[in-house]
Amino acid sequence: MKLKLIKIFIVSVLMFCFLPTLTSASTIYYTMNVGSETIQLKFDEETGTILRSFLQKEVVLEIPSEINGVTVKHIGDYAFSDAYIVQVNIPNSVESIGYGAFMGCKKLVVVNLGDNVTDIGNCAFISCENLSEINIPNGVKKLGYEVFRDCINLSDIQI
């Protein structure tokens, strides 16, 4: 009986200590319509970061400049990796694109970056086999390594 109470106490303490790290009050799920499709974005309101997307159909994605009145400033690591995006338009509010943010988006053909993007993370567009066109704004200060590795159809880079 005593051992059982100790186990319950330990589990309770662990849950109390680690539960706040599992969920964050600033993380929300934002639903938006893209054409006839409905997609969800996991968004951190505190940092203005899109953390993850949930979409399974081919779409032309217009990333919003605001979600719930909060400016979208960052596209997080792996946020759109392996998504079925054909074209993505990133607004001027976005300042950075994280590691592998669009990694493996095999349907992606065109990327339009907003004028205020200054940091494109490592491997951001790696393995986007059909990517053929991207504009890189003048303000980009950091272009990570292997950003366009395996983008075998990339033929038009506008700087």
Q: What is the pLDDT of residues 134-152, one digit of tens each?
A: 999 999 999 999 999 999 9
Q: What pLDDT does residue 10 have?
A: 54
Task: Report the predicted TM-score, pTM, of the whole model to 2 decimal places.
Answer: 0.83
The string of pLDDT tens digits covering residues 6-57 is 555 455 544 444 444 444 579 999 999 988 888 999 999 999 999 999 887 8
Instruction: Decide: 47 and 69 in contact? Cβ < 8 Å.
Output: no
Question: Distance between CA atoms of 113 and 155, rounded to whole angstroms?
Answer: 16
Query: CATH topology for 25-158?
Result: 3.80.10
Identify the residue whose tokens are 């205020």. Answer: 116
Instruction: Decide: 65 and 45 in contact? Cβ < 8 Å.
Output: no
Instruction: Decide: 98 and 79 in contact? Cβ < 8 Å.
Output: yes
Residue 98 has pLDDT above 80, yes or no: yes
Q: What pLDDT does residue 15 have?
A: 47
Q: What pLDDT does residue 1 have?
A: 58
Q: What pLDDT does residue 21 have?
A: 40
